[in-house]
Every structure is written in C-alpha cells, then in structure tokens.
C-alpha cells in the first residue's frame, strides 16, 4: 500500500499521531477516582478540624475574659459575684459586664431594680464574650415568655453559666445553701422593691479546695432544637427569675451532656466535639471530656 508523500511527512513529524496512546482503562479510572475521593475526604476533615480548633480557642478566650472580669470584681468587692442578686433581679452576667465590655448597653442597668423593670435596651444588650462561636445560633434574644407572671420580657441570651452546685438535695443549687462557687446573693437592705445593698455569699477564700480545683463558669447545655427557650434553660442570661438560664448543676445525676440532642437537665454541655470547657477560679480554662465521671465533676464544683 502506498501513502501520499504528505501523509508520510505528517506521521514522521508527529509521531504521536502515528502511534496514538490508548485511553485510560476502566481500572485506572476507578483508581484515580478513589485517590481523588480520599484526598477530598482528607481535605474536608482537615477543614472541619481547623474550624473546630478555631472555635474552641475563641470559646476559651471568652472564658478567660469572663474570668478576668470576675477576678476584677472580687478584687474590688472582696466577694464573688452572685449567681443572682435575688430572684427576679440581675445575674452575675450583669454584675461583671462593666469589666468585660465597654459601651455594652448594660451600663444603664439599675441593679436595684428587677429584671422586668429595666429598659428594653439594657435587657437586649448583647455581649460578644457571652457567646461560643461553635453554637449555631440564629437568635441572640430570647423569644419564650420570661417573667414570673409569664409576661413577655425577652432579653439577650448567652452560652455560659455559673457552677452553683452539685445537685445535692440538701444544698439546693438555687438557694443560699448551694455548695458551688457562685450562688444566690444576700440582700442587706431593701425598700419598696428596690435592693439598696447586697453582697455575694462566697469569696475566693471560701474555696476550700483551692482556686485551681474549683469551677466558676462553664458552657451550658441547651438542646439544639430548644435554643432561645427559657423552659430549656436558654432564657435571658440576665434574668434572675430563671435560675437555669445563668446557673447550672454538675455532679451525680447531672453529668456533662453527651451531645447537643441530649435532653435538658440543668447541666453543662458544649457544642464542641466531645468536650466542655470550664473557667477555674484561678483564671485558667480547661476542656473536659463529656464522658467525665459525674462524681469528679461534682468535686470540682463543690467549694467546700
């Protein structure tokens, strides 16, 4: 068979066209696809881990700032801020706000008055350090009915709560006998519904276990489908009428929530993977596995 001279020159100058390479076999395509999927999976896993590490560090930073504010409060007052000044009045989150964030909106809060008597602006003041970036909130203000008479008094939310007790029924965590570090305050003088003088019942000196072994603040558990619901412990962080919105229990029967879907139990829990972070009384922040034994958690919360 004879080829035209032009075809011969073309094949000599372009050997690839003279000897075409066969396409990828089916096996090679499968191997290539597996490699691509493995690399993509590793990349996604790395990005998820990176995001989690970032949110965990930001959450720990929030807790350290809260710790600095609490220790500054104690240095001035010589007692720790109470979980609530009194039922219906401000919580620890309001008491330390001026030391935590300037121009927060809470500077106009009158500690002598009840939560319901504050201005709407003060009740709705959102402080960034009170929110963990790992928790996927879309609302920053409570929507459930807040007041003791079920009046609609919404207020700013928050992801942290003080450790008020270990759940001992002889030491109710909402009352003056609670055995945690931040508990119900003591009213020294009241007139016509105005609290003129008050103080916290605890101090750093009252932490018998030592500051490095006593928990002050932790991430509070709220079921993922109950965010903003006061009945599930996510009412306003400032409302002293709702103890579980600003304080929690940790101990036998009240272990760390194992997941964001666990039922509400007035307990601590986190949106982080497998851990819950706490502020200790020495200002340090530590992460504890959500499988932490309940009795150990209770020991770290009891101040005595």
Q: At 3, is the pLDDT very low, low, confident or very high (cuts 50, 70, 90)?
A: very low
Q: At 10, is the pLDDT very low, low, confident or very high (cuts 50, 70, 90)?
A: low
Whole-angstrom Cα Rg for the chain = 29
Q: What is the pLDDT of residues 171-224, one digit of tens each?
A: 999 999 999 999 999 999 999 999 999 999 999 999 998 999 999 999 999 999
Q: Is the pLDDT of residue 86 over 60?
A: yes
By CB atoms closer than 10 A (0-12, 13-18, 19+), residue 222 is: buried
Confirm if 235 and 146 have CB atoms less than 8 A apart. yes
Q: What is the pLDDT of residues 106-120, one digit of tens each?
A: 999 999 999 999 999
Q: Give the per-residue SS3 of 148-208.
A: CCCCCCCCECCCEEEEEECCCCCCCCCCCCCCCCCCCCEEEEEECCEEEEEECCCCHHHCC
Please give the DSSP secondary-structure letter assigned to residue 80.
P
* Structure tokens, 250: 């940790």
Whole-structure pTM over 0.75, yes or no? yes
Q: Is the pLDDT of residue 159 over 70?
A: yes
**52 vs 304: which has the higher pLDDT:** 304
Q: At 251, is the pLDDT very low, low, confident or very high (cuts 50, 70, 90)?
A: very high
pLDDT of residue 61: 97
Q: At 84, is the pLDDT very low, low, confident or very high (cuts 50, 70, 90)?
A: very high
Q: What is the pLDDT of residues 258-304, one digit of tens each?
A: 999 999 999 999 999 999 999 999 999 999 999 999 999 999 999 98
Q: At 8, is the pLDDT very low, low, confident or very high (cuts 50, 70, 90)?
A: very low
The pLDDT > 90 percentage for the chain reads 73
Average pLDDT value for the chain? 89
The pLDDT > 70 percentage for the chain reads 86
Q: Is the pLDDT of residue 244 over 70?
A: yes
């Amino acid at each position: 068979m004879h080829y035209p001279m032009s075809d011969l020159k073309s094949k000599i100058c372009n050997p690839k066209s003279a000897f075409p390479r066969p396409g990828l076999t089916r096996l090679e395509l499968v191997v290539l696809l597996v490699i691509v999927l493995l690399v993509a999976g590793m990349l996604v896993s790395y990005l998820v881990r990176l995001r989690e590490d970032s949110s965990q560090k930001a959450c720990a930073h929030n807790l350290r700032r809260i710790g600095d504010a609490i220790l500054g409060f104690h240095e001035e007052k010589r007692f720790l801020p109470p979980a609530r000044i009194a039922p219906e009045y401000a919580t620890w989150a309001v008491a330390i706000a001026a030391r935590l964030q300037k121009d927060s909106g809470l500077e106009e809060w009158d500690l002598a008055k009840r939560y319901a008597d504050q201005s709407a602006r003060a009740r709705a003041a959102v402080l960034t350090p009170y929110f963990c970036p790992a928790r996927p909130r879309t609302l920053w203000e409570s929507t459930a009915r807040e007041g003791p008479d079920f009046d609609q008094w919404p207020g700013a939310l928050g992801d942290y709560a003080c450790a008020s007790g270990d759940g001992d029924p002889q030491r109710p965590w909402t009352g003056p006998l609670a055995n945690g570090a931040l508990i119900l305050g003591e009213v020294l003088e009241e007139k016509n519904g105005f609290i003129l003088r008050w103080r916290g019942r605890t101090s750093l000196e009252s932490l018998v276990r030592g500051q490095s072994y006593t928990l002050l603040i932790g991430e509070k558990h709220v079921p993922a489908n109950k965010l903003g619901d006061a009945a599930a412990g996510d009412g306003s962080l400032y409302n002293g009428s709702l103890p579980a919105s600003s304080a929690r229990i940790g101990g036998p029967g009240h272990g760390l929530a194992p997941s964001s879907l666990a039922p509400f139990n007035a307990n601590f829990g986190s949106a982080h993977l497998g851990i819950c972070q706490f502020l200790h009384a020495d200002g340090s922040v530590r992460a504890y596995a959500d499988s932490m034994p309940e009795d150990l958690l209770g020991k770290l919360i009891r101040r005595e």
